[in-house]
Amino acid sequence: MTGERPADARHVYANPLNIEICPILALAVHFVVNSFDDKGLSLFPGSSQYERYQKALQRLLSDGDVQERLKRYGVNPNELGSHSTRKGSSTYVTTGVLGGPTLTAVSIRTGWLMPGVTNTYIRYDQTGDRHVGRVVSGLPVDTADFAYLPPHFPEVDDTVRNALEICFRRAPPNLTRVLEFALATLVHYSPELLAMLPPSHPLLASPFFAQQLWVPLKPKIVCRIGTATDVIRATGIASTTALLRDMKEIANQIREMIPHIDHLVPKIAEEFRAVLDERQLGSPAVTRFELRSVMDSTLKEALEKAGVFSIMEMLKVLTGERPAEPTTAPAPPVRSSQNGFLWKSGVIRRLPETFEFPSVTCESIWLYYMCGDSEQQYPPLRKLEYEDMPSKNLHKRFSDLKFLMSRIEDELKRLRAWKENPTVEEASRMFTRAEGAISIPADTDAHRVRRSTGLRWLTVVDLLRKAKKANTMANRS
């Protein structure tokens, strides 16, 4: 992308079939873990995004398991860099799949300009870019699943709006529709995320998981191959994909119909004999016309019950209009014991021995502090004692937490806005009123503008302690 034509949208699609490469899930996790910045519109805060991405990539490539996997495929980690993702995705959509997008659509998407041709004889069109976006998202091109819709809410009710407000505070209004898809994708993958993420991951400490916001949202999302009755339609698919989708729908209904047909054979014979016996009781003989009428009515009723007629209609018009299967939310986890968590030493504490303070923003740790984690069955952290901490290191972290939280508490009590047992919504509003009490210097020691959002709470603690120490030294002098 050259940035010369910002009106030409680049379409990004969710991949509800592969959690590792779903771009909408990655965007949702980023928005939930990091706060929105009131002062700018950058997707990633700060001024050194490239360096941060490069460092994160190198940390990943230095992992032993990753290096072993790369070695198996004959890949040298030193040959991978920040540009490898762009090269790999371009190679995949052009030569890695059969029936992929045209090279022209890929060239326009990637910004490979052909002087004298691009934007003169060959111009951008959203149809081609949608196809590129759907292929590069990793959806299977050669199956009906290529037409999968993203996880979405057919109706946005108060429960959805409340979750959006809590999870994406300070979000710009023009992102509302994007965040609805991001939230739905996060809900769709919630069971997998709970199973694969370590307990210390900052996402698990967010209100989305800590307060189990995803549980009532799970039955509200729809995620399936698109049909004519959906509130949104699948874009970027060719006519062949639509045909595969309809054929798969017909195959599913035929598969469901087979057991009914197996039961129909003896049932038809039994009903046929019963009708003949009934007719013979009232008349001396059964005519050919009556026999044909009995056979027609009996077979028609039986085939209609089996769904054969609906299949025939689908074969005629290829509509594929099946209702969605209802989903049920999984049951929440239970505590390790009735009063808390049993440690190896035999004592019962209110936190497990594996507990770690999450590395999250100040707002997220404040909600953790005030409301706890109902997903992990942790009480509000403000109700804990030092003896509930599994290690001396966590004693220090708990002291840091109380230092930070006491500033917010004191400010709320000064403003007469303190609530002893707030809900998640109330705690979020409390933080908004008192967050000025933990404001940090706007410039770094190197006289660079410090990013105001997205900082982890321990970083803020260190900055506040340094500022307090500097003020103390200045007053003494």
In DSSP terms, 122 is beta-bridged to: 118
Structural tokens at position 320: 């594929």
Write down the pLDDT at residue 116: 84
Task: In whole angstroms, give the CA distance from residue 143 to residue 241.
Answer: 7
Both structure tokens of 426: 């109330």
pLDDT for position 335: 47
- Residue 439 tokens read as 């404001």
Give the C-alpha distances (Å, rounded to integers) separating 70 from 21, 60, 278, 340, 387.
Answer: 18, 12, 77, 43, 45
Q: pLDDT tens digits, residue range 14-38?
A: 999 999 999 999 999 999 998 787 6
pTM over 0.85: no
The pLDDT tens digits for 416-433 are: 999 999 999 999 999 999
Q: What is the mean pLDDT of residues 215-223?
A: 95
Which pLDDT score is estimated for 405?
93
Place of tokens 């698990």: 204
Q: Say whether pLDDT at 283 is over 60.
A: no
pLDDT at 160: 95
Give mean pLDDT, residues 344-361.
Answer: 88
pLDDT at residue 406 tops 80: yes
Average pLDDT over residues 47-52: 81
**pLDDT tens, residue by residue, 446-468:** 667 666 667 889 999 998 988 88
pLDDT, residue 418, reads: 93
On the question of pLDDT at 109 being above 60, the answer is: yes
198-202, 282-286, 340-344 — most confident range? 198-202
Degrees, nearest 5: CA angle 447-452-454: 125
- Tell me the average pLDDT across 170-179: 91
Burial of 124 (0-12, 13-18, 19+ CB in 10 A): middle
Half-sphere exposure (Cβ direction) of 81: Cα atoms closer than 13 Å = 5
| 3-state DSSP assignment of residue 331 | coil
More confident of the two residues 319 and 441: 441
pLDDT attached to residue 301: 67
Give the end-to-end CA distance of the chain in Å, rounded to a whole number.
Answer: 56
DSSP summary character for residue 456: B
Confidence of residue 332 (pLDDT cuts 50, 70, 90): very low
* Diameter of the chain measured on Cα atoms: 124
More confident residue, 120 or 383: 383
Which pLDDT band, with edges at 50, 70 and 90, does 286 fall under? low
pLDDT tens digits for 369-390? 999 988 888 899 999 999 999 9
Please report the pLDDT score of residue 225 as a whole number: 87
pLDDT in tens, 131-158: 999 999 999 988 888 889 999 999 999 9
**Residues of the chain with pLDDT > 90: what percent?**
38
**Is a pLDDT exceeding 80 seen at residue 272?**
no
Across the chain, mean pLDDT equals 82
pLDDT of 374 reads 86
Among 2-11, 34-43, 368-377, name the one with the lowest average pLDDT.
2-11
Whether 1 shows a pLDDT value over 60: the answer reads no
Q: What is the pLDDT of residues 62-87, one digit of tens each?
A: 999 999 999 999 999 888 988 888 88
Q: What is the arithmetic mean of pLDDT over 283-293?
A: 56
Q: What is the pLDDT of residue 325?
A: 43
- Grade residue 222 by pLDDT with cuts at 50, 70 and 90: very high
What string of DSSP letters covers 141-206? TTSGGGGBPPPB-SS--HHHHHHHHHHTTT--GGGHHHHHHHHHHHHHTHHHHHHHS-TT-GGGGS
